[in-house]
Amino acid sequence: MSEIIGEYDAFCFDGYGTLYNRGDYVYPGAKEWFMELRRAGKELRLVTNAASDVDAALAKSAADRGFDFTASETISSGSLLAAAVKEIRESGEYCLREVFYIGRETGKNVLGACGITAVENPIEPIVAVSSSTATPEMFKHAVDILSHERALLLVLNPDAWAPNIDGSRSPVSGALCEQLRLNSGAESVYLGKPFPEIWERVRKTLPTGSRVLMVGDTLGTDVFGAQVAGFDSALVVGRNVPEADLAADEAALHIRPNFYLVPG
């Protein structure tokens, strides 16, 4: 990081899998990166596909781990829901007041901020997913709802995989949503990285003309997302993309980061 710090005005960080992991686990060297950039007066942003709570709570969670992002420096996929809901309601196709929800309990705060209630049997056939916490019964119920005419799947966190502390990785909400989509054929709305809306939000928070580097652990969301935004990118090697699979994944996705950050 010290070799490229002078090349950029703003640094966007993915959170989970890049800076920290479950609980209070922080990746070695991550705080040192962060503090070096703070001391240098760089613009810093937490750009995350988390939809497990509102941005203020996500910022506090990061700060509790030693990364003092403010709420205004935090841009999450969940925070994009309000604009998406407004557009959907204005289209007249859905009232969007109730959904069947799959995710952590705190994720209901994201729904509530948009005037949405999580219920077992929503008036309209709408399912919202923020994490892969579905039991087999919940999955079946979600497929039943989504199999109705005019069904809608709201993908609040499109991440397909999440790295574990031990170096393995597990399928998460994006993978679950793809199974729901394939089993039901429902229309889907995706929020967060790599889609353009989150980068438009990021850009609006930065000084005009900022040279931006996105730092993350995933090719399909962080690196490809940065390409969508017109930002440079740095991939932390060996987290969400096993090092042995990196070259093949890059070839399949036709993307490469500008930099590789190899943990010491």
Looking up tokens 């729901």 gives 180
55, 48, 122, 57: which is closest to 82 by C-alpha? 55
Q: pLDDT value at position 2? A: 77
Domains of the chain, first to last: 5-48+209-214+223-238+245-261 (no CATH), 78-190 (3.40.50.1000)
- The Cα-based distances of 199 to 19, 46, 78, 158, 240 in angstroms read 20, 12, 14, 15, 21
As beta bridge partners, residue 162 has 170
Q: pLDDT value at position 1? A: 73
* pLDDT tens digits, one per residue of 95-139: 999 999 999 999 999 999 999 999 999 999 999 999 999 999 999
Looking up tokens 């609980």 gives 23
Q: pLDDT value at position 3? A: 82
Whole-angstrom distance between the N-terminal and C-terminal Cα of the chain? Answer: 12
Biggest CA pair distance of the chain: 55
Mean of pLDDT over the chain = 96
Give percent of the chain above pLDDT 90: 95
User: 94 exposed, middle or buried (CB, 10 Å; 0-12, 13-18, 19+)?
Assistant: middle
Q: Check whether 196 has a pLDDT greater than 90.
A: yes
> What are the structure tokens assigned to 145, written together?
């709802």
Q: pLDDT value at position 66? A: 96
